[in-house]
Structures are given as structure tokens and as C-alpha cells.
Structure 1
């Protein structure tokens, strides 16, 4: 298709290659996802990003190819499970690298049963925490949690009687 005599640019839309990786954070409780987006030929100023209220990160770019031709892309990334303020980006050598720190709480309180005043403690261990902890420490922690649960359970039974 010829573009002679046209003032409108001819767009070549493409889907850039993306690779997800895991990275160790500053402590054993930190989990960081790394997203590398291959953008060969693009310059830093040709790539734009926008964080929207819907929990999505929008990344787009346009690179002139000559004679009214423009190579462009649009990416939409769900970042709702990440610490938004901790997201970092680096563009180097035709590669955009996003550092996305996870926002997993170690402890979570949930309402159990119909009584809103009674909350149970749920211990959520991320895979990194489990991987970095020895088996004996995990067994000890689970026994401790089981002991606390049994104590509270017996306490509830004695109150009901």
C-alpha cells in the first residue's frame, strides 16, 4: 500500500516482547516482580506511561520509521497487587525495565463467623518467605500458631458453658 501524497502517518502497531522475572527485595519479606519490555529502536522520550485510578499502568510509544510511517505499541498492565509508590522504571539499551514491589501483608485479620467483634488472625507467608526460612523454624511457627488457636478455641468453649 503506497502512502504517496498522503499527509496522514501510516501506523505499524506491534506487541513488544515482555518477560516477567522475580527478584529478591531488601528483606526476606519483600517480593519484587521485574517486567522487561523489549523496545529496540525506541528512544526514552518516545515512550510514555500513565497510572490510572483503575489500578492499571498504561505504557505506549511511537517511533518514526521514515516517510510518514510510525511504529507504535500500547500495553496495559494490572498493577493492583503492587505498591504503586514503589514502582520504578528504567529505560536503557532498547529495554524498558519495571520494578514492581508486591504489597502482600504478612498478617491479615479476618472476621470469623457472624460476630463482627471476633476476628481471627491469618498468617500469610509468601513463597519467598517460605523459601528463605528453614524447615525447623517453619515447624516451630506452625506449632506456635496451633497452640494459640487451641488456647483461644478452648477459651471460647469455656465461655459458652
Structure 2
């Protein structure tokens, strides 16, 4: 049986140009990675995305180019190291922009400015760290331990003065 009156679509698969950027926030822990995917000629309706449980974000799109021709792409991005609930997307001017908030371990040591030997202890309780009863108890114990340490440290300083 022939395809009478019907013609098959020709697909033009391509790999879109992607550009990664880093944006610093108000705090040193508020860094955001930005991924711009260049999709000239595509409309918002042409693009689909799916977040899977394995931490992979799948983005695909199809755009009609003319007589029986369709331009399409498939992109897979590992977003497991980002705050999944904080990911934002915006499509404008032929660019899909993804804002991916960086995650940090609950306790982070950072070098401050020009003093490489001076380390600051920064405690950040992310939603990944403080989930479930066990993690909440650990976080509370850690905060209590930090409070006791600061109290003893301040006592030592006042004795020296």
C-alpha cells in the first residue's frame, strides 16, 4: 500500500548551542548557574521539558521549517547537584534560560579575602540536609555544639583581656 496523498516528514536533528554562566547572589552561598540554550526560530510551544527522578532534565523540541521539514533536538542535562525545587526556566527571544541554584554541603569552610589562613565556618541547613527526624536531630545537635563552642571561646577571650 502506498502513501497516497501523504508525504513523510523529514527531520533535521541538531545540537543547540549552550552557554553556561555563573551568577553570584547577595550571599556567597547564593550562587546560581545559568544555562542558556539557543533555539533560534523556536517558540515556547515547540519546547517540552521533563524532570526525572534520576536527577536528569530532558529538554526536547520540534519546529516546522517548511514543506514536510521539521527541525528537532533532544538535550539531557544532569541537574542532580542543584536545588531541584529552585530551578526556574524562561523562554524569550529564541533562548531558553535555566536558572539552577547551587547546593552546598550543610557545613562549608570558606577562605576569607586576603587571609588564606583564616577560615570561616559557615553553617547552612539546606532542605536536603534537614529532612526526616534523624537529620533534624543531627542539625539541632550540631547547632547546640556550635553554641557551646562559641560560649567557651568567648569565655577564653574575656579571661585573656
TM-score where L is the length of structure 2: 0.64
Structure 2 unmatched runs, 5+: none
CA distance in 2, matches of 1:68, 1:15: 20
**Structure 1 runs not aligned, ≥5 long:** none
Residue 134 of structure 1 aligns to a residue whose secondary structure is helix
Structure 1 position 87, deviation (Å): 0.2
CA distance in 1, matches of 2:112, 2:27: 31
Aligned residues: 161
Structure possessing the higher relative contact order (Cα contacts under 8 Å, 6 or more residues apart): 1
Q: Cα offset for 1:2? A: 16
Listed one character per residue, the Cα deviations across residues 23-77 of structure 1 (whole Å, up to 9, x for unaligned) are 0124221111000000000000000000001110000000001111000000000
Runs (4+) of structure 1 exceeding 6 A deviation are: 1-5, 108-161
- RMSD after superposition: 12.0
* Alpha carbons 1:60, 1:75 under 8 Å: kept: yes
Residues 1:123 and 1:91: Cα distance change in structure 2 (over 3 Å): same
